[in-house]
Structure 1
Amino acid sequence: MKPLILPDEWISKISRLSIATSSKLRGQHKGSHRSQRFGASLDFSDFREYTLGDDVRQVDWNVYARTEKFFIKRFLDEQEMRVHILLDASRSMGEEKKWLFARQITAALGLMVLNRDDRLSFSYVGEQHLIPFRKKGATNRKPFLQLVSNIEEARGVGSFAEEGLKRLPKDSTVLFIITDGLEPISQWEQFFKKLPRFAGDIRCIQIVTEDELNPSYSGDVRLIDSETSREVNVSVSNRVLANYEKSRTEHEGQFDALANRFGIRKIQLSVEEGFQNAIFHKLLKSHWVQ
Structure 2
Amino acid sequence: MLDAGIYEQLSRLVIAMKQKSSQNMAGNRRSVQKGTSAEFSDFREYMPGDDLRRLDWNVYARSERMYIREYFEEKEAVVSVILDTSASMHYGKKSKAELAQDLCAVIAFLTLHHMDRLVLYDSSQMGTPLVVSGGKNALPKVLGWLQARTFSGTETDSFSAVRQMQRRGAGVTVIVSDFLTEAATDPTQDCLEKTMQYLDFTKQRPVLLQTLCAEELRVTMDGTRNLIDMESKEKLRVTMRADVIARYEQELQKLSVRLKKSASAAGGTYILCDSEKERRALILEDLRPLFV
**TM-score between both structures, scaled by the size of structure 2:** 0.76
Larger radius of gyration: 1
Question: How many residues were matched structurally?
Answer: 249
Whole-angstrom CA distance in 1 between matches of 2:8 and 2:259: 35
Q: Would you say the 8 A contact 1:94–1:155 is kept in 2?
A: no
Question: 1:117-167: per-residue Cα shift (whole Å, max 9, x none)?
Answer: 1111110213x5673111211221111111112212243444333234213
* TM-fit CA distance, 1:223: 0.6
Residue 169 (structure 1) aligned to one of 143, 167, 185: 167
One-letter code aligned to 1:122: L
Match of 2:81 among 72, 77, 85: 85
Measured at CA, do residues 29 and 11 of structure 1 come closer, stay the same or move farther in structure 2, by a change above 3 Å?
Answer: same
Question: How many angstroms apart in 1 are the aligned matches of 2:201 and 2:249?
Answer: 35
Shift of 1:232: 0.7
Aligned to 1:232: 236
Sequence identity (%): 22
Counterpart position of 1:20 = 16
Query: Aligned runs of 1:67-216 on 2, under 5 Å?
Result: 77-95=73-91, 97-126=95-124, 131-138=128-135, 139-184=137-182, 185=184, 186=189, 187-216=191-220
> For structure 1, which segment, 165-174 or 94-103, has the greater mean C-alpha deviation from structure 2 after superposition?
165-174
Runs of 4+ deviating beyond 4 Å: none
> What do you get for the CA RMSD once the two structures are aligned?
2.4
Partners of 1:24 and 1:181 in 2: how far apart?
29
Contact 1:223 1:233 in 2 (8 A): yes
Deviates more, 1:264-273 or 1:113-122: 264-273
Name stretches of at least 5 consecutive residues in structure 2 with no aligned partner: 38-71
Cα 1:100–1:171 change in 2 (3 A) is same
CA 1:9 to 1:253, structure 2 compared with 1: closer, same or farther past 3 Å?
closer
- Conserved in 1, the CA contact under 8 Å of 2:18 and 2:203? no
Q: CA deviation at 1:115?
A: 1.3
The DSSP-based 3-state class of the residue aligned with 2:233 is coil
Distance of aligned partners of 1:283 and 1:12 in 2 relative to their CA distance in 1, 3 Å threshold: same
Amino acid aligned to 1:87: L
Q: CA deviation at 1:170?
A: 4.1
Stretches of structure 1 that go unaligned for 5 or more consecutive residues are 42-75
Distance, in Å, in 2 between the alignment partners of 1:34 and 1:264 is 20
SS in structure 2 opposite 1:37? Answer: coil
Letter of the structure 1 residue corresponding to residue 74 of structure 2: E
Q: CA deviation at 1:168?
A: 4.4
Normalised TM-score (structure 1):
0.77
Which shifted more, 99-108 or 218-227?
218-227
Give the structure with the higher percent strand. Answer: 1
Name which of structure 1's ranges 233-242 and 248-257 shifts more when overlaid on structure 2: 248-257
